[in-house]
Amino acid sequence: MRKSRLSLFKSTSMLISVVGIIMIIATIIVVAYVGYSIVSTGITNEISSGTQYDELAELKASYDDLSVKFDSIKSTYYAGGSDNVKVYNDAKLELTRANSAIENVQSALDAGKPSNEVDSRIDFAKEKLKTASQAYNEL
């Protein structure tokens, strides 16, 4: 009877040791996977962020070019009377909206927003810039 208890104790203790080792290995694997996911996501976000900063620079350059065009014809429209001033100001309002959308992209990048949200803001800014450009062409 004593030998069977000793044998049972040995087998139980061995089983607990094996299960403990398996739990430690499983924990290490889970921690490694989570760490890999975090690093991978960080690298992907940095790459997306770099591309988004390039697109932001392009948007700002386009805005600056369009702003110079608006400023070059401002005196012509202001000299033409109140109807011309209204038409110019309506077109200039579209340019202001485009600038606001571009600043919105900048703030999203500075705040570290997710790349899909920044991409949607970039698309919106491109639409607003296109609308402003059309408004200028209609002047």
Domain limits, the chain: 2-137
Predicted local confidence at residue 3, as pLDDT: 67
Whether pLDDT at 28 is above 90: yes
Give the distance from CA 10 to its chain's centroid. 58
Predicted local confidence at residue 37, as pLDDT: 86
Q: Calculate mean pLDDT across residues 23-36.
A: 93
pLDDT (tens digit per residue) in 51-101: 888 899 999 999 999 999 988 888 888 787 778 788 888 889 999 999 999
pLDDT (tens digit per residue) in 103-135: 999 998 888 888 888 889 999 999 999 999 998
pLDDT band with cut points at 50, 70 and 90 for residue 45: low
Q: Give pTM, 2 decimals.
A: 0.65
Long-range CB pairs of 62-67 (<8 Å, 24+ gap) are 62/129, 63/95, 63/98, 63/99, 63/102, 63/129, 66/95, 66/98, 66/129, 66/132, 66/133, 66/136, 67/95, 67/99
Mean pLDDT, the chain, integer: 86
Looking up tokens 């209204």 gives 86
Whether pLDDT at 1 is above 60: no
